[in-house]
Amino acid sequence: MQDQYKINIRDMSFFIEKKQIIYDLNLDIRTNEILSIFGPAGSGITTLLRALNRLNELIPGARIEGDILLDGKSVYRKEVVLTELRRKIGMVFDVPTPLPMSIFDNIAYGARLKGEKNKKVLSDIVERALKEAALWDEVKNRLKTSALALSGGQQQRLCIARVLALEPEVILLDRPCSGLDPISTAKIEDSLTQLKERFTIILAPHNLQQAGRVSDYVAFMLMGELIETGKNDDIFANPKDQRTSDYITGRFG
């Protein structure tokens, strides 16, 4: 059973200074599935995602207890190289973060850092990543123009393409559609469902409907605690915990 899990989170607690953000959390994440972690704002979902690629370490006073295993090995081991870890676990943020350079360079950047110089290989990588992120048709004639000139939805798909080009194993998406219109959102959700064949995807959806549409598994977090987790249909159809049921039916949150 163990080998079909990509990530195991073990008794994890997270603190900033003396404030506890996440309480004793255990969660196993399956390979090649989409897991949606939902809950009201301030539940620690973003913190949880950022603990996986160790981005939380930028926060002064941040401290973690417990452990997070990627393929059975702790990501907090001493010998882990941060830059390699972050290429394995790619992340897309709630606000699109294109780099101040051309569309092509944005996506080729990661591959170039790995030492890839061959132009043919690079443009293949860029084309494939853009196609997977459902952006290729819109930008194929202007790859050399600045990425900052794209619309918000296009910028976000560019960010997804950029993560895909790194050939990660896990993709974290932190409310990737929060600022986007329904059509852009639909495009991103479509590409997510195709991408799960190659990647393990962890999504913080921007609403329950999105969680329902794209996820295989869902997890409900409240005030830094994992309340309940299970298959998408099970949780939404008959939640076991009263708080989950209250949240899903809109009684609070």
Partner 1 sequence: MSKFRENISKYIFLALAFSSISALALITIFIIINGIPIIAEVGVLNFIFGMSWAPSHGEFGIFPMIIGSVTVTLGAALLGVPIGICCAVFLTEFAPQTISRIFRPAIQLLAGIPSVVYGFWGLLFIVPMIRNWFGGPGLSILAGSIILAIMVLPTVISITEVSILALPRNYKEGALALGLTHWQTIYSVILPSAKSGIVAAVILGIGRAIGETMAVIMVLGNAVAIPESILDPVRTLTTNIGIEMGYAAGTHRQALFATGIVLFIIIMILNATAQYVTRKKK
Among 45, 143, 159, 164, binds partner 1 (CB under 8 A): 159
Candidate segments 2-10, 161-169, 178-186, 188-196, binder of partner 1 by CB under 8 A = 161-169
Burial of 19 by CB count in 10 Å (0-12 exposed, 13-18 middle, 19+ buried)?
exposed
Shortest distance, CB of residue 20 to partner 1, whole angstroms? 23
By CB atoms closer than 10 A (0-12, 13-18, 19+), residue 52 is buried
Q: Does 55 bind partner 1 (CB under 8 A)?
A: yes
Rounded-to-10 torsion of CA 186, 191, 192, 196? 150
What does the alpha-carbon distance between residue 126 and residue 179 come to, in Å, rounded to a whole number? 25
The answer to whether residue 76 forms part of the interface with partner 1 (CB under 8 A) is: no
Tokens 């987790």 sit at which residue? Answer: 229
Site string for partner 1, 85-104 (x = CB under 8 A): xxx--xx-x-x-x-xxx---
211 is a contact residue toward partner 1 (CB under 8 A): no
Query: Taking CB under 8 A as the rule, does residue 175 contact partner 1?
Result: no
The secondary structure of residue 55, as a DSSP letter, is G
- How far apart CA 198 and CA 196 sit, in angstroms, is 5
* Shortest spacing between CB 209 and partner 1, in angstroms: 25
Give me the residues that bind partner 1 (CB under 8 A), please: 53, 55, 58, 60, 83-87, 90-91, 93, 95, 97, 99-101, 109-110, 113, 159, 162-163, 166
